Amino acid sequence: MSDRIDIELDTSGLHCPMPLLKLKQRLNKMAVGQVIKIKTTDGGSVKDFATFVAQVGHELLFQEECGGEFVFIIKK
């Protein structure tokens, strides 16, 4: 897991497709190499985020589920 988190985004309580849309908006404002930590309670985001990251060439550094909350760390 990366020690450096440049941006944190909490989309807890939002349902598909909002967590992915919020992530895309934030990534568009980030510089290459920056790292974002995103939290969500939407289980569909697990597949959505993995697919999106693979399609656009970002790096999924960390993924965890704990008590219905999903945490992802992504490097642009």
Q: What homologous superfamily is domain 7-75 in, according to CATH?
A: TusA-like domain (3.30.110.40)
CB 42 within 8 A of CB 14: yes
Q: What is the pLDDT along the chain (76 residues), one digit of tens a residue?
A: 557 999 999 999 999 999 999 999 999 999 999 999 999 999 999 999 999 999 999 999 999 999 999 999 999 9
Given 16, 30, 61, 71, which residue is catalytic? Answer: 16
pLDDT at 3: 73
Can 16 be counted among the known catalytic residues?
A: yes
Identify whether the C-beta of residue 42 lies closer than 8 Å to the C-beta of residue 15: yes
Question: Other C-beta atoms within 10 Å of 55: how many?
Answer: 8
Tokens standing for 31?
């510089």
- Can you tell me whether residue 64 is helix, strand or coil? strand
